Amino acid sequence: MDSNNSDFDLIKRLTETPGIPGHEENIRVLIHNEVKEFCDEIIVDKLGNLICVKKGSKDKPKILLCAHMDTIGFMIKYIDSDGFLRIQPVGGIDPRITIGQPILIFHEENIVNGVIASKPIHLLEKKEREKVKKIDELHVDIGAKSKEDALEIISLGDFGVFNYSCKKLSHSVITSGGLDDRAGCMVLIKTLKELKDVETPNELYFIFSVQEEIGARGAITSAFNIDPDIGIVVEVAHGIDVPGLKKDKHGDISLGKGPAIDMGPNVNPKLFKYIIKKAENGNISFQLRVHGRATPTDLRHIQITHTGVSTALISVPLRYMHTTIEVMDLKDINRTVKLLIDVLSKLKKDINLKL
């Protein structure tokens, strides 16, 4: 199998494995099996974060790398007398994309198929056609004939996900749900594998964090426990190279042009310059992104752990975030991996990141 097919196989397995906030066990097992041969130690903490340790030749600086493994989803909050379900979002779900979506509901060891439904367009009143329905106005149809019938196969509190699949588009471009942030997970997995026979001057902690989509909870506890000197978060960045988005408002980030490297108050400026220099020296294409406030990522909490952490944010460009048809270029993932390897294999103990 060539590298392109190998990369597609990995991202397909990552994106199609469920794991909403608080229910990351399935994706955690998959990632654990992928990386167990490439770590010196693996820890699962009380919150469910997967912490993979690669010991270096020196104990400082201690470096944390983080990508969250949870994705958006929902929970069953109500079952009516006719067996139709109501759902509550877990994470940021756009109600515009929910109608007509097939879903999977996870009940104990079973998977139940369903569809998120609404009135047919033929039966809508004029006013109804002009507004977007809220998620709590929609219902889920699992084919049940009554509440009692539904309760035989599902329960209140069961979690669910959209039933999407990862597909190839043209060239190295793919589409899937869940690329936020399974793309970041793939970057960390590939980086760990590439570093197997590389002696790094630092102790590395690869964190596959939980519950980012509801407040970066996993990053808070794992960073507190590890108390790193440096923290690098691998995320996704909005691709602005589509109709309807203004680059002068949202920034100039495109697919196929390499990772986006953030600058702003959440990012240590000396670490930022160090990463830029490594990208330039390695002829790795990259893009710049400005964040004038705390980033909506795990980084915002890692930075203020204990007495403070020198942090950086590197993101893979992604179109249509938090939909079932997110679009990404696998070349950007591999450029991000190369950049991380250059940074990690050469980052010395005496680097001065004090501000």
% the chain with pLDDT above 90: 84
Task: Tell me if 256 sits within 8 A of 332, measured CB to CB.
Answer: yes
179-229: pLDDT as tens digits: 999 999 999 999 999 998 887 888 999 999 999 999 999 999 999 999 999
> Which residues is 234 bridged to in the sheet?
314
Higher local confidence (pLDDT), 348 or 61: 61
What are the chain's domains? Answer: 3-71+177-346 (3.40.630.10), 74-162 (2.40.30.40)
In this prediction, residue 341 has a pLDDT band, given cuts at 50, 70 and 90, of: very high
256-312: pLDDT as tens digits: 999 999 999 999 999 999 999 999 999 999 999 999 999 999 999 999 999 999 999
Task: Tell me if 274 sits within 8 A of 297, measured CB to CB.
Answer: no
Burial class (CB in 10 A: 0-12, 13-18, 19+), 283: exposed
| Lowest pLDDT segment from 75-84, 143-152, 291-300, 323-332 | 291-300
Position 1 pLDDT exceeds 50? no
Position 139 pLDDT exceeds 90? yes
> Which residues is 328 bridged to in the sheet?
174
* 273 Cβ neighbours under 8 A, 6+ residues apart: none
pTM of the complete model: 0.94
Residues counted in the chain: 355
* Rounded mean pLDDT, 61-80: 96
Catalytic residue positions? 212
The token pair at 171 is 């060239």
Distance, in Å, from the CA atom of 313 to the CA atom of 231, rounded to the nearest integer, reads: 9
* 178 Cβ neighbours under 8 A, 6+ residues apart: 14, 15, 16, 71, 161, 164, 326
